[in-house]
């Protein structure tokens, strides 16, 4: 198995590192620091590696996060609004038409004919039981499942 030769960029880095190490050894010997070759070679390798890492990251574009999830839409507020309408429908002394209007609007988004039928079936100021609301929602979902 034969190893690959370093590319021009890495070859110049390796040669530059060796030259820096030799120059550091000669200068420290000339200044009478009594250099030891192995620790000096390790220090040169560490300093050159850190310098190359720094130089490699300077040219990169800044990192940016990409969200996988779409940003939250208005549905969060809509769900809270639906819950508020349902609880006020159950607790109010005089129920409003808000639940009927919401159910008809939901049905209209699925099937306009069903929406017209629901509008006629649900009495405007009549309190719907949770079971009745569940049956209506089931009818609306069945229309969606068929299409």
- Over residues 87-110, the mean pLDDT reads 81
Give the mean model confidence (pLDDT) for residues 76-94.
71
Answer yes or no: pTM beyond 0.75.
no
- Whether 56 shows a pLDDT value over 90: the answer reads no
Does the pLDDT at position 5 exceed 70?
A: no
What mean pLDDT comes out for the span 65-76? Answer: 63
Residue 96's pLDDT is what?
77
pLDDT exceeds cutoff 70 at 76: no
Give the N- to C-terminal CA distance of the chain in Å, as an integer.
62
pLDDT confidence tier of residue 79, bands split at 50, 70 and 90? low
67 compared with 12, residue with greater pLDDT = 12
Per the model's pLDDT, the better-predicted residue between 11 and 4 turns out to be: 11
């Amino acid at each position: 198995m034969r190893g690959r030769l370093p590319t021009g960029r890495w070859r110049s880095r390796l040669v530059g590192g060796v030259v820096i190490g030799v120059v550091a050894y000669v200068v420290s010997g000339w200044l009478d620091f009594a250099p030891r070759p192995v620790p000096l070679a390790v220090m040169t390798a560490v300093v050159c590696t850190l310098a190359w890492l720094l130089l490699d990251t300077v040219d990169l574009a800044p990192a940016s996060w990409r969200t996988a999830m779409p940003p939250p839409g208005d549905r969060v507020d809509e769900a809270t609004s639906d819950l508020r309408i349902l609880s006020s429908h159950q607790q109010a002394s005089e129920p409003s038409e808000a639940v009927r209007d919401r159910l008809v609007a939901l049905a209209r988004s699925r099937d306009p004919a069903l929406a017209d039928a629901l509008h006629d079936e649900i009495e405007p100021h009549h309190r719907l039981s949770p079971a009745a609301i569940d049956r209506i929602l089931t009818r609306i979902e069945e229309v969606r499942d068929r299409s």
